[in-house]
Structure 1
C-alpha cells in the first residue's frame, strides 16, 4: 500500500466557542428549535454519546491513537457542526468564527504532519463570510466547513458570490456538511432528523449550487460533500430529465446536472457498499474521498474496512483511500 490514508470527515469539539456564546438568549432559542426538530428521544441519546466521545474530540493524543487503530494517517479536521451558530448577530458571529478558526488551527498544530484543519464562516452574514474565509486561510487552515443553508438563505443566493470567488481564487476547500433539517417535526422521531434529514439537506444544497449556475460561474471551486452527497448522486437521473424536459428546470445551468457531479468531491460515508459503488459509478472514482464522521455514532469506526467492502479495483480503492484527498491537500 502506497501513499497515506486520508480521512476528510473528522470533527473537533471547541469548548471555547460554546463558552463564548453561553447564556445568550438567541442560543437558548436555537437550542429549543433543534430540540423540537430532533425530538426528546434523540436528545436523551445525544448527551451521553457526546460525553463519551469528548476525549477523542478534544485531546490530540487520544485522536492520534484512534487514528492509528483505524489505519488512518491524516485527518482533515472540521469543527463540530454544532458550532455553526448561524443565529448569531454580526458581532457575535465574528467572535465565533475567529475563535473557531484559531482553536482548530491550534488543535491541528499539535500534530501538523497528521492533522489538517478547516474553519467556519457565518453564512448568515455573507459579507462577513468572505473575511472569515480569509481569516481561516491566514491561520493555515485548508478552507472552511459550511452547512446546507443559513436562515433565509440558500447556497444559490447571489450574496454568496464573493465567498465562492475567494474560495476559487485561493484554492480553499469547502466542506459541505449539513446541520439540522428544516422538515422540522415531521422528522422528530427515530432520529429521522439525521437519518433522513442529512442526506436530504445535502441533496437540496448541491441542487441549489448546480441548478443556479454557481458551478458554471465558479468552475474552480474545490467542494467536498459529506455523506456521499446525500440522495443526489444516486438519483441524479431525475435532475437530468427535468433539465431536459422543463424550461424552468434548465434555465439556470448550462449543462446536464449529472455533469457537475464530476466537479465535486464526495466522501465515502454512505453506510452501504452497494451505494458506495453506485456513487463511484455516478461521479467517478477520482471524485470520492474517504470519510468517517470521526468520532460520532453516525460515522464508521472502520472507514478503510467500509471502503474495502465495496470490492473496488485496486486503483480505485487506493484513490479513494487516500490518493484523491492527498491531491486535494496538495500532499505527494
Structure 2
C-alpha cells in the first residue's frame, strides 16, 4: 500500500484584524509608537508599504481569497498568525489584555471558516510578563495552536527572568511559539532603502535567539516548541562565531551548558530566506527535521511560490518533503 504524501503546510502566514486597530485608536501611547515606527522605517518605506498593505487586505481578511491563493500555491494548510503590527507592546495592562483577547478570538474565528485548512496563533503582551501565561491559556482555550511573539518588548529581552513562567507554561502545554520580529532597535541607521526590514528583521531574529540560547532558557525548557521566522535570521549561518566565543571566553559561556550551535536542533525555522544556498545551509545547520515551509503570505517580502523556492534548494527528496509539510504536520498533530 502506497503511503499518502504529507500535506503542504505553510507556517508563516498572516491575518489582519481591523478590530484591534479600532480598539487602540484612541489610546494614549499609540501616536508615539507610530512616530517611532515611522522614524525607524523612513518616509520612503512608508510610502511603499501603505499601498502594498491596502492591495493585500482581501488576502489578509477574506478566507475565500486566502483559500484560493493557497490553492494556487499548492498549499494545503496555513498556520495563520496576526500581523505583527498588532503587537502594540506600548499598551498599558488594561489595553493589552483587551488586545490579546480580541486577537485570539478574531484569529480563531477567521480560522474556523476553514478548520481543515487553517490553524491559528494568538498574541501575548510581552511588555507585561505577568499577563503572558493568561494570554497563552486564553489562546489555547480558543482552539489556537499557540502564540506569536516578537524579538523583544520595550526594556525586556527574551532572556528576562520575568518570562520564566511563560516559557514553563508553553513547554508544559506543548503550545507553538512563533518568533516574528516587528521593528528593529537599530532605529534611524536603517531608515533608508527598506533596511529596516532587509537588515533589521534577520538581526532581530539573531539577537532574540541568542538571548534564548546564551541565557540558558533552552536548557531550562528543552521541550519548548519555538519556530523562528525568516530562517532565524543571521544566526544559523553564522553560528560558528557564537561557538568560538562560547569556547574561548568565560563570559560568553557562563549562561548555557552546551555549544550554541547544538541548540539549533532544539528550535524550528521557517524556510523564508530568499536564497536556495542559504536554505541548504540552514537545513545543514539545524537538520532537515527542524525546517518548515514559510511564505509570509501575503506580504511583498514573502515568497509567492514557497514550494518552488524550496525546490530550488535541491534538497534530497526525503528532506524536501519533510520541509514541505511532514515536519509541520507532525507539530500540528501533536498540538
Deviation (angstroms), 1:331: 6.9
1:319 corresponds to: 322
Task: Find out whether 1:153 has 2:130 as its counterpart.
Answer: no
Per the normalisation by structure 1, the TM-score is 0.99
> Does the alignment pair 1:108 with 2:111?
yes
Segments of structure 2 that go 5 or more residues without pairing to the other structure are none
Which residue does 1:277 correspond to in 2? 280
Corresponding residue for residue 203 of structure 2: 200
How far apart, in 2, do the equivalents of 1:131 and 1:254 lie? 30
Which residue in the other structure is 2:51 paired with? 48
2:240 aligned with 1:265? no
Q: Report deviation, 1:282.
A: 0.4
Structure 1 CA distance for aligned equivalents of residues 125 and 40 of structure 2: 22
Equivalent runs, 1:121-270 vs 2, <5 Å: 121-270=124-273
In 1, distance between residues paired with 2:38 and 2:329? 38
> How far, CA to CA, are the matches of 1:313 and 1:331 in structure 2?
26
Cα displacement string for residues 14-63 of structure 1 (whole angstroms, at most 9, x for unaligned residues): 00100000122311110000001100000100110000000000000000
Cα root mean square deviation, aligned: 0.9
Query: Alpha-carbon deviation of 1:184?
Result: 0.3
Tell me the matched-pair count. 332
Name 2:102's counterpart in structure 1: 99
Do residues 16 (structure 1) and 19 (structure 2) align? yes
Q: Distance in 2 between matches of 1:198 and 1:313?
A: 29
- Distance in 2, matches of 1:246 and 1:50, equals 46
In the alignment, the residues of structure 2 paired with residue 215 and residue 101 of structure 1 have an alpha-carbon distance, to the nearest angstrom, of 26
- 1:3 Cα deviation after fit: 1.3
Displacement over 3 Å in runs of 4+: none
Q: Which whole-Å deviations, capped at 9, do the CAs of 1:86-137 have from their partners, x for residues lacking one? A: 0000000000000000000000000000000000000000010110000000
Please state if 1:35 is matched with 2:34. Answer: no
Once residues 326 and 319 of structure 1 are traced to their aligned partners in structure 2, the CA distance between those partners, rounded to angstroms, is: 9
- Which of 3, 9, 34 aligns to 1:6? It is 9
Distance 2:201 2:157 in 1: 16
Measured in 2, the distance between the counterparts of 1:284 and 1:251 equals 26
SS across alignment from 2:91: coil
Q: Which residue of 1 aligns with 2:311?
A: 308
